[in-house]
Amino acid sequence: MSLVDMEGVKRKLLNTVQQEVLTEDGDFKLKLITLCTFMDRDGLLLVTTRINQRDDYQDFRYPIVLPSNHELIKRMVTDRHLQSSHVRVHVILNDLCQQFWILRGRK
């Protein structure tokens, strides 16, 4: 499997997570109201950050919005925690925020 294929699979999984949570969790919808979100060509919800004018990676300027209470996201955070030699929460969130905007990530 090539890197492009893996990226496509990752985006489809994240899209599925967003769709599941949007249909089930009204609290997730309320949190989105306060953010400046838009949908990309793949149907993923992205958030516009304050640094969107900066010449940087697209993922960093427009991270993917994710819920913190989905099992896949919890496993992703746990996996990153283990890969990073059990560093503290703020280090993991700083690492993940380069691609993702996890709502209530500290919980």
Residue-wise pLDDT tens digits, 4-59: 788 889 999 999 999 988 877 767 777 788 888 899 998 999 998 776 666 666 76
How large a percentage of the chain has pLDDT more than 90?
25
Which residues have CB under 8 Å from 43's CB, separation 6+? 15
Name the pTM for this structure.
Answer: 0.80
Which residues have CB under 8 Å from 100's CB, separation 6+? 63, 64, 65, 66
**Domain range summary for the chain, segments of one domain joined by +:** 3-102
Question: Residue 66 has what pLDDT?
Answer: 92
6-24 burial: b if 16+ Cβ within 10 Å, else e:
eeeeeeeebbebbeebeee
Of the pLDDT bands very low, low, confident and very high (cuts 50, 70, 90), residue 65 is very high
Q: Crossing angle of helices 3-24/71-83, nearest 10°?
A: 130
> Would you say residue 78 has pLDDT above 70?
yes
DSSP-derived secondary structure letter, 80: H
Ordered alpha helix ranges (H), the chain: 3-24, 26-33, 58-61, 71-83, 89-96
> Would you say residue 63 has pLDDT above 70?
yes
